[in-house]
Structure 1
Amino acid sequence: MYSKYLKPSLDFSLAGFSLLLISPLFLLITVMLVINNRGSAFFIQKRPGKNGKIFHIIKFKTMNDKKCKNGILLSDYHRLTLVGKAVRKTSLDEIPQLINVLKGEMSLVGPRPLLPEYLQFYNEEQSKRHIVKPGITGWAQVNGRNALSWEEKFKFDVEYVQTFSPRLDAKILLITIQKVVHRHGVNANNYMTMEAFKGDAA
């Protein structure tokens, strides 16, 4: 009942209300990133959703497209702009995913959508994370986010899939707000983003 009817309805209602409430901030960040990036304010990328179905995730673009003389993109550290750094540090880069929630591609709470190329590396247990819609925040995020190892992250994802409820979703949302305010667990060690997942054989 909750997963089929109530959760989708709550997702749509809360995402719509949130977008309306923060629309001035959304517009301000968009304008600042367009200027700072000298181009698009949005980063759009393919991600696997429920049952592995591919969709296009939307995030604020925190890095520019600068390349070295050989035409290869520079490291995350060298491409992260000043505005982008502030947006990422406060987790505001996730705001556009509310649009994905309105489109029914994501949920407010669920396993984070990773890269399509990771699908081939999941074992049977890890693949269970795709039984539900991916989320803007999730059980793994409030338990360590990028500070977790891949094994720990997948363990929390599967645990969520097997036990999620209105109470757990509310708990995750409340903890997420607290963690965003305290800016806790954004990066793993000295990496700007999590290291790539290469499966159990890596």
Structure 2
Amino acid sequence: MYPLFSKKSIKRKKKGNFFEEFVFHDSPIAKDYKQKKSFYITYGKRIGDIIFSTMLILFTWPIILFAMLVIKLDSPGPILYIQQRVGLYGNYFQLFKLRTMREGADQSGPEYTLSGDSRITRIGSFLRIRRLDELPQLINVLKGEMSLVGPRPLTPLLTQKYHQEELGFIHRLSIQPGLTGLVQVSGGDNLTIKEKVILDAYYMKHISFTMDLKILLKTCLVILTGDGAR
């Protein structure tokens, strides 16, 4: 396993949150990613994100509008759920989702959702199984806060927790977080933190248009079957 930080990889900033204090260009995993300097990594990935996320929004907006209406009729509370997540190099951003839980479900703080979680609404269960609750994150992709494919962004609390538990977890912040990723199509929440670290590192080392396309196609299969969702 790679060392978490080298002395050269730590850059202190006068302002910013815990994660913004570290820049990972000198970590072995980040070096593998940055040294490729391929057209796809430098330009193609972002161009593809803009084109495909725009197409997906145009294609799915009737589904999104219908889901928003049903959410409003099903339970009281806002239609959208907005939560702070950790993105590239530790920058915080607001992630958008369709609300799938009852209002006030996270008053005790962000928690991992468990199978059969009583906080999930009736329509919320269906939206989660088909991953439709994630569709508003296409806006995050257009804004440049996320990519279509990459490690899933977590809350600051969970990011710091896993950073303390598993060596190398923090390296995932060297790459843009994604709407879907290798972890999600390889077992998702059923994987251990160590297994997720290995898969994130593998993705960063072998990132390519072909790999991203395969992950997107496998994601479509997950959506159709509901496999791995909760």
TM-score in same-fold range (> 0.5): yes
* Secondary structure of residue in 1 paired with 2:145: coil
Mapping of residues 1-202 of structure 1, within 5 Å: 1-65=39-103, 77-121=117-161, 122=163, 125-187=168-230
Tell me by how many angstroms 1:37 deviates.
2.6
1:139/1:72 CA distance change after superposition, 3 Å: closer
Per-residue CA shift, 1:32-77, capped at 9, x if unaligned? 112223221111001011111100010111001267xxx869x962
Instruction: Give the whole-Å Cα distance in 2 for the aligned partners of 1:28 and 1:161.
Output: 37
Q: How many residues align?
A: 183
* Secondary structure of residue in 2 paired with 1:79: coil
User: Normalising by the residue count of structure 1, what TM-score does the alignment of the two structures yield?
Assistant: 0.84
Q: In structure 2, list runs of 5 or more residues that go unmatched.
A: 1-38
C-alpha contact (below 8 Å) 2:97/2:135 kept by paired residues: yes
User: Normalising by the residue count of structure 2, what TM-score does the alignment of the two structures yield?
Assistant: 0.75
Larger radius of gyration: 2
Q: Which has the higher contact order (CA 8 A, sep 6+)?
A: 2
The one-letter amino acid of 1:127's match is I
Per-residue CA shift, 1:130-150, capped at 9, x if unaligned? 111100110111110111111
C-alpha contact (below 8 Å) 1:126/1:158 kept by paired residues: no
The one-letter amino acid of 2:88's match is K
C-alpha contact (below 8 Å) 1:128/1:161 kept by paired residues: no
1:142/1:17 CA distance change after superposition, 3 Å: same
C-alpha contact (below 8 Å) 2:76/2:103 kept by paired residues: no
* Secondary structure of residue in 1 paired with 2:118: helix
Instruction: Give the whole-Å Cα distance in 1 for the aligned partners of 2:181 and 2:130.
Output: 17
Tell me by how many angstroms 1:16 deviates.
0.7
